[in-house]
Structure 1
C-alpha cells in the first residue's frame, strides 16, 4: 500500500486503482479498506478509486487521543493524493464522517452515502456513554465483548445474530479493530440527525439504502436525503446494511461520472 502523512504526523495507508474521475471510498465500523475489495472492480473501468485504512486500522497509524478533526484531516490528505478534490462514497458511521468532512469544507465534489448512522423518529437512541463503555471494555482486554456491545446496543442486532457473526471468518478482524469502535461511537454524537447543519451543505449528494435493511437504517437514510438541499435518495436491492455489489457499482459510476 502507498503511504501518506496526515496533518498530525499519522501515517495513512491507501491504494489507488483504475482510471477516470477520482472516487474515495470510506468504510464504517470494524473494517479497513478490504471491505471494498468486491466494489473496486465494479468502478475501475470508469473511475480512479482510492481506498484507505482509517487511523487505527490495517496499515495506518494512530494517535494517543481520538478526535473527529484528525479523521477529517486523514480524508483530506487522501483527497489531496487524488488530485485535490474527489467524489466520496461512505457507509454507516463512515457516512457520518464524510458528512462532517463536507461540513468542514473538505474538497468533496459529490457525496454518496450508504445508510448513515442516525436515529430518527421514534427509533430509540443508544446510550450517550457508549463510547466510554467501549473504551472500558477494550482497556480490560475484552475485545470480543466490545464488538458484541457495538453490534447489539448500537446496531440493534439480537444475540442470536451476533452468535452467528462470532462463527464467521471476519470475527477476528472485528476483535482486532475493537479499539476503533469508540471512534465510530464518537462520530455519531448524540445519534440525532443534525437537520439544521445539513441544510447549509450544498454538495450534490446521493443517499442509498438497501431494501432488506433495518427500519431504523432505512428511515435514517431517507431522512438524511430529505435534510440535504441537493440530495436524492434511492432504495437498492440488498440485505441488512448491505447493497448488492453490481448494482451499487453501477449507481456509483453513474453518480460520479455524469
Structure 2
C-alpha cells in the first residue's frame, strides 16, 4: 500500500466533508457524512459513490458514511492498468487515512469482492463486512446448473468488453445492465445523468475484465478470520449471483444471510430503506457479538 500523502485530516464532527486521497499512484475522490461509527461503502462496476445517495440519509444516528469513487471511476484517477489488488489497497488506504484505521465495510457486486478481499488480507482494518451479491463466478465450477449460468453471463460480458474496445460504451452498459446485472427494467433504476456516468466509467470495466484475479476470494482466510460477515441477496436478482451467495453461505458458516424481498442486484437503488435496515441490523449484530459476556473468561 502506497500512501503518498494524507489529503485531509480524518473525518470530524461535520455533516459532510469531501476530499482527495492519493494512494498507489491514484487520486481517490471521497465523501464522508456524520460521525463516530465509520462505515466505508465500495461501489460496483461502472458506478461511483453516488450510488449510495439514497441509503446514507437512512443510516442509524452516529454512523460516519465514507464513500469514494474507486480508481478509474468518475472523480478518481487511474494510472496505468487497474486490477483488483489495487482496489483492495485503495480501500485499506481509505480506512487508514479517513476512518481512523478501522471501519465496517459495505460492498456491492465488484465492490463486494473488494470488501471481502480486504477482510481476508487486512482483518486489523476491517471491523465487519456486509456485501451484496459478490460475483465470485469461480465458485460455480463443478455445479452443472451454476456452470451454465456462469457461461451465459460470461458470454455477455465478453461482448460487453468488445463493445467497450470498439468505443460503444453506451451499448456496453445497456447489455451489461440488462443481461448480466439488473434486468430489462434497468433504466428505471438510473436517471439519464447516471446512465451517462456509467458509460463514462466503462473503460475501467475493461481493465477489470482483463484482470486474471478479479474474481478470486480467499475463503479459507475469511472462514478462519475474525471479521463478521453478512451476505445480502435479492429475491429477484440474477440467478447466477444468487446461487453464488448460497454457496458463500455454505462455505462461510458463520456469516449471516439477509434476503431483501423484491430487490434485485441493486437494492441500494431499488430498495434503499430495506438495504439500510439490513445494514443497521448487521451493525447491531456485530455490536452485540463484541460485548463481553459477564463472567466469561473466569
Q: TM tier, shorter chain?
A: 0.7 to 0.9
Contact 1:30 1:180 in 2 (8 A): yes
**Alignment-derived partner of residue 96 in structure 1:** 113
Contact 1:24 1:79 in 2 (8 A): yes
Counterpart CA distance in 1 for 2:223 and 2:200 is: 37
**Alignment-derived partner of residue 230 in structure 2:** 206
Taking a change above 3 Å as real, the CA distance of residues 156 and 190 of structure 1, as seen in their structure-2 partners, is farther
Question: TM-score, with normalisation over the residues of structure 1?
Answer: 0.84
Taking a change above 3 Å as real, the CA distance of residues 156 and 189 of structure 1, as seen in their structure-2 partners, is farther
Unaligned runs of 5+ in 1: none
**Alignment-derived partner of residue 87 in structure 2:** 71
For residues 134-177 of structure 1, the C-alpha deviation after alignment (integer angstroms, 9 at most, x for no partner) is 555334312123324433664484xx557x57995232122111
| 1:145 is aligned to 2:145 | no
| 1:24 is aligned to 2:40 | yes
Cα deviation for residue 130 of structure 1 reads 7.8
Task: Provide the aligned C-alpha RMSD in A.
Answer: 3.0
Taking a change above 3 Å as real, the CA distance of residues 111 and 179 of structure 1, as seen in their structure-2 partners, is same
| 1:255 is aligned to 2:279 | no
Taking a change above 3 Å as real, the CA distance of residues 63 and 134 of structure 1, as seen in their structure-2 partners, is farther
Counterpart CA distance in 1 for 2:190 and 2:275 is: 27
Out of 119-128 and 69-78, give the one that drifted further: 119-128
Taking a change above 3 Å as real, the CA distance of residues 110 and 188 of structure 1, as seen in their structure-2 partners, is farther
Contact 1:225 1:231 in 2 (8 A): yes
Contact 1:86 1:109 in 2 (8 A): yes
| 1:87 is aligned to 2:97 | no
Bigger radius of gyration: 2
Counterpart CA distance in 1 for 2:26 and 2:35 is: 28
Cα deviation for residue 111 of structure 1 reads 0.7
Counterpart CA distance in 1 for 2:220 and 2:156 is: 25
Q: 2:273 aligns with which of 228, 231, 246?
A: 246
Counterpart CA distance in 2 for 1:64 and 1:74 is: 15
Counterpart CA distance in 2 for 1:154 and 1:206 is: 23
Equivalences, count: 254
Higher relative contact order (CA 8 A, sep 6+): 1
Equivalences for residues 1-258 of structure 1 within 5 A: 1-6=18-23, 8-43=24-59, 45-80=61-96, 81-105=98-122, 107-119=125-137, 120=140, 121=143, 122-123=145-146, 124-126=149-151, 136-151=162-177, 154-155=180-181, 157=183, 161=185, 169=192, 170-185=194-209, 189=213, 195-196=219-220, 198-243=222-267, 244-257=271-284, 258=287
Contact 1:202 1:229 in 2 (8 A): no
Contact 1:209 1:234 in 2 (8 A): yes
For residues 173-211 of structure 1, the C-alpha deviation after alignment (integer angstroms, 9 at most, x for no partner) is 221111122244357858587655543444110001122
**Alignment-derived partner of residue 12 in structure 2:** none
SS in 1 for 2:119: helix
Taking a change above 3 Å as real, the CA distance of residues 131 and 220 of structure 1, as seen in their structure-2 partners, is closer
Cα deviation for residue 241 of structure 1 reads 1.3
